[in-house]
Each structure stands twice: as structure tokens, then as C-alpha cells.
Amino acid sequence: MTTVATPRLSAYDVVVVGGGIGGLSTAACLAKAGRTVLVVEQGSGPGGYAHAFTRGPYTFDPAMSVFPQGHPGGLPVALLDWLGVADRCRFVPLESNYRAVFPGFELETPFGLEEFTEVHCARFPRHASRLREFFALCKTLHKQAHELPPRLGLRGLEDAVARFPLLFRYLKATTGEVLAEYFDDPLVRAAVSVSWPYLGSPPSRLDFVTFSTVLNVYLEGCFYPDGGFQSLADALVAGLEKAGGELVLGRTARRIRVERGRATGIELDDGLVVEAGTVVSNADATATFTELVGEEHLPAGFVKRLRRMTPSLSAVIVFAATTMDLRAAGAAHEVFRPLHVDHERTYADILAGRPGGMYATVPTLASPSLAPEGEHLLVVHSLAPYDIGRPWAAETEGYTDTVLKSFEDVFPGLRDSLTFLETATPRALERHSRNRAGAAYGWENTPGQTGGKRSPHVSPLPGLLLAGHWTQPGTGSLRALVSGMHTAQLAQREAGQPPIELDHPDFPPAA
Ligand SMILES: Cc1cc2nc3c(=O)[nH]c(=O)nc-3n(C[C@H](O)[C@H](O)[C@H](O)COP(=O)(O)OP(=O)(O)OC[C@H]3O[C@@H](n4cnc5c(N)ncnc54)[C@H](O)[C@@H]3O)c2cc1C
């Protein structure tokens, strides 16, 4: 990586604020398309939530654990290939899908929608026909959401409603509402929706179309980038630099400059002005509009809606290393550990500052080089609000203890086998990423804030576009990557430049 501390030029075709996966994917695409591109990243390395940290011999991802569609022929691999850097990031297929350990029962799930459905049917035979109908519905919604054109006029909307009646029937539904429609047994409802922490909201709040889409995409198979998610970020940087683009690290954009009603560049932390034909923000959406741009440059209605939107939950993350042979102990790459069968009780725990929405990930199963031989990394994600009404620092020790105790039941002897332990709170996530309140997933995935209702790529300020998990299509590293590609395509169109010619059936991606 040949990153510099100061931009080489005073003006670029495109300046990207933030070097998360979304910003890097936009930048690499635009550089490859021949534009002059600068990425400004406040952190010490690229990747945002993908930017790894090391402690002694251990390398940890700060947040992410699974990546869908890493197979040859998938859009992410096609992108890296097109950028000429496919050899920089090897996606390791995960051996199995998640294991879920509830109080009193557990479930091990395979990849493949059919296999996944049948595991549930075998565990809950009385509900088999409803289970098959439910998962078939999830598949249909996923397919229809994928086929829905990104922008619909009035006529287009009428056609779409006629073509996709099921999608429109469930467009405003929460996952909890649909679970109640299909299952009368709380155990079945809990088992079917145990992966909700991947999307940050309990079934009562979680958009059902988003749940269906993510479930289906994940069931096609999940991957882990060998060496950690940093290798995905580094591959995108390599693609950017190979095409002549620049990344500046450790520099903060403090303003997006507005002249004659248009974004014309940015101002860095030391006052240095960098001009740009287009500015792309990968940063927190609220900070982008209210701090970097300034409300006075935006329509009042837009700012009002922005202020009404809610960010997703943050997380407490327990980073551990252990000498326990976790493979022999039955670990899957992901192990969900609900302490209650009722996910809404878990959500109440989370809001009260207690562990909940927990899942452990063991990245060394897929990528052993992250720890010395004979050791595994075990990282537990637990959803958490930013503000629990008391200082997180005073809570961390007790919180960590409860998390470890919960996994001691799954891996007896875990605590005695630990060789490293550190806990990050929502404050640390906010510092690391500058996402408001340490939000893990951008806007909360409620029906009113997903799909076409998420902040659009094209902002109301001409010359300013968004990329990443605050904009469409939504949450997660894959969607941040896809979002960046879409933003690059839009930036080309807005500048009257030829379209990006990446030949793949999913590109340009649907918003
Ligand atoms: C605990 C946790 C677990 C997760 N697990 C998964 C998972 O397993 N799989 C998955 O796909 N997703 C997962 N996610 C979600 C995923 O990490 C995010 O949705 C995705 O990484 C967002 O990428 P992004 O590019 O939009 O933004 P970010 O990664 O947030 O990057 C934004 C970047 O902008 C920079 N920045 C902000 N403001 C400025 C400024 N003014 N000047 C310069 N730079 C600035 C930040 O430093 C940061 O690098 C998880 C998230 C968390 C927190």
C-alpha cells in the first residue's frame, strides 16, 4: 500500500470521504473507469469496520465475521477480478452454517435453503408444512425484491404491484408479524428467527423483506476472507492504487464545501481544501449532512426526515484467544447463544445494558494464521445501545463475565483456557468508525428504513452522493460493497461519463 498523508493534487474528479468497504468500492471502480480519485480516511488504516487490529500474535477483525457471495462468479469476486486484484483476497468457504444454543435445546443448521428447511422440519415435525410454506415465502420475497426495478414512477409502481403481489403485501411487515401469522409455537418462532442479531433488530422491529433476503443470500453459502476482512479492504485499495487512485490515511474531512448550491470539494482537518467534481460520503449519514455539509444547504423536509430516522444498535465485542480445541468442542464458525426463547426478552436485556443478541465466531477455523498454532480466536458479538444511562467503563468487567459464562455452557472449560481477553464497548466502535452511536448496521432495519426507504445514493445536494451501509441497498459488508459500485455508476452518469463496464448479471445492482 503506497498511501500518503497529503493529497498529491489540489483537485480531483471524485473525492470520497471515508475508506470503509463502501467508500473503497466506489473509489476503486471510479479510478478503474479513468477518473482521478482521492479517498480520505480518518483511521490509521483502510476498511472502517473491516480494519483489523493486532494484539501480540493475534489478528482480530473489529466487527465482521461472515461474508456472503464470495464464490467464483459472485459479484464481489467479479469486482476484484475486474480491478485486477482477485489474487489479493481469497474467500474461504465456511464448512457449515450457524449453530444455535438456546436454553434447553439446540439446532445445527446447514447451508442450502432446502436443507435448512428440512432441519427445522425434523426438529419441529408438527409444524413441517407451515415451515416449508414460511421458508418458501422468504425465497419468493427475496427473488421479487431482487427483480424490483430500483426506481419506480407511478406507472412502474402499478405494474410492480401487479407483478409482485406478495412482495407488496409484506413490504411494511415486521418479521414478528409474519412469524405470528405462521406459527403458534414460541419455540418454532424463536428457532426460525434466531439469526436476527445479524441485522441488529429483534423480530418485532425487523423488516421482514430484509430478513428474507439476508436469510436466502446467507444460505447460498458464506465465506471468510483468508487473513481477515482487512484483506478485502486491502484488495480494494490495491485496485484503487493500481488504477492511479489515492488513499490518504489519518486525515479527517471536516467540511464538505458548498458553492452555488453544489458540493465542490472538501476541507481537511488542517484547513487544506481539495476540490472535486463529485464528493462521495461513506461516513455516517447524519454527520455527513448536519456537520460536514450544514443544514442550511439542505431542504428542510429532508433534514426533518433525517432527524426522525433511527440508527441501528451498536455492540459490545469480547475478543478472546484460547488454547481449547474449539473444532473438537463442536464450534461452528458462528454460534448463536440466546439466553431466552423469547427474542423480545433478549431485546429488553439489550436495552437495559445486559448481554443479548449474542453470537460467537471462531475465525481461526477458516483462517488459522490469525493466531499461533494450537490456539483459536473466539470473538463474541453482543448487541448493545450506545447509552445505557451509566458509564460503559464501569460495566465492562461484569458484562464480559456474563458473556463468558454464557459460552462456558457451550464450551465447558473455556474461561480457564483463555490466553487473551479484551472487550470493546459501543464507545470504541464509534471512535473506530465514526458511525453515530457506534451503529453497527447504519440505519436500523425497520420496515420504514429499508429498501427504497433507506437514504438514497443521490443526495438533495447536487454533486454529493452516498455510499455504504447508511444508503441503499443496506446493512452489511456485501451490501456496502454493492452500494459503492452502484454509487460509482451514478457518479459516472451524473458527470456525463461513460458507464462502468463490469460485465456481471448483478451489475449495475438493484438499489
Ligand atoms: C459487531 C458487528 C458485527 C458485524 N458483522 C458483520 C458480518 O459478519 N458480516 C457483514 O457483512 N457485516 C457485518 N457487520 C456490518 C458491517 O460491518 C457494516 O455494515 C459495513 O462494514 C459498513 O461499511 P461502510 O463502508 O458502510 O462503513 P464503515 O465501515 O463504517 O466505514 C466508514 C469509514 O468512514 C470513515 N470516516 C467517517 N467520517 C470520516 C471523516 N469525516 N473523514 C474521514 N473519514 C471518515 C471511518 O473512519 C470509516 O473508516 C457488522 C458490524 C458490527 C459493528
Domain containing 83 — which CATH number? 3.50.50.60
Report how far ligand 1's centroid is from the alpha carbon of 70 (Å). Answer: 19
| CATH code assigned at 326 | 3.30.519
The answer to whether residues 489 and 302 touch, using CB atoms and an 8 Å cutoff, is no
243/207 same-domain check: no
For ligand 1, whether the C-beta of 40 sits within 6 Å is: yes
pLDDT beyond 70 at 511: no
pLDDT beyond 90 at 75: yes
For ligand 1, whether the C-beta of 319 sits within 6 Å is: no
Number of domains in the chain: 3
108/199 same-domain check: yes
Run of H or E including 175: helix 175-182
260/408 same-domain check: no
To test the ligand 1 pocket, which listed residue (21, 49, 274) has its Cβ within 8 A of the most ligand atoms? 49
Residue 251 Cα: closest atom of ligand 1: 43
pLDDT single digits (tens) 383-412: 999 999 999 999 999 999 999 999 999 999
- Where does the pLDDT of residue 298 fall: very low under 50, low under 70, confident under 90, or very high at 90 and above? very high
12-35 burial: b if 16+ Cβ within 10 Å, else e: bbbbbbbbbbbbbbbbbbbbbbeb
On whether residue 244 sits in a domain, the answer given is yes
79/158 same-domain check: no
What pLDDT, on the 0 to 100 scale, is given for residue 2?
62
Residue 477 Cα: closest atom of ligand 1: 11
What pLDDT, on the 0 to 100 scale, is given for residue 154?
73
Q: pTM for the full model?
A: 0.97
Burial class (CB in 10 A: 0-12, 13-18, 19+), 11: middle
304/234 same-domain check: yes
Domain that holds residue 201: 99-222
On whether residue 327 sits in a domain, the answer given is yes
Percentage, residues of the chain above pLDDT 90: 93
129/218 same-domain check: yes
Instruction: State whether the Cα torsion 386-387-393-394 is positive or negative.
Output: negative
On whether residue 181 sits in a domain, the answer given is yes
pLDDT beyond 90 at 65: yes
On whether residue 245 sits in a domain, the answer given is yes
pLDDT beyond 70 at 509: no
pLDDT beyond 60 at 123: yes
Residue nearest ligand 1's atom 26 by CA: 468
* Mean pLDDT score across all residues of the chain: 96
pLDDT beyond 60 at 222: yes
On whether residue 189 sits in a domain, the answer given is yes
247/136 same-domain check: no
What pLDDT, on the 0 to 100 scale, is given for residue 159?
87
111/212 same-domain check: yes
For ligand 1, whether the C-beta of 23 sits within 6 Å is: yes
Residue 484 Cα: closest atom of ligand 1: 25
pLDDT single digits (tens) 341-392: 999 999 999 999 999 999 999 999 999 999 999 999 999 999 999 999 999 9
pLDDT beyond 80 at 419: yes
What pLDDT, on the 0 to 100 scale, is given for residue 150?
66
On whether residue 209 sits in a domain, the answer given is yes
Mean pLDDT of 246-263: 98
Say how far residue 46 (Cα) sits from the centre of its chain.
Answer: 16
On whether residue 191 sits in a domain, the answer given is yes
381/422 same-domain check: yes
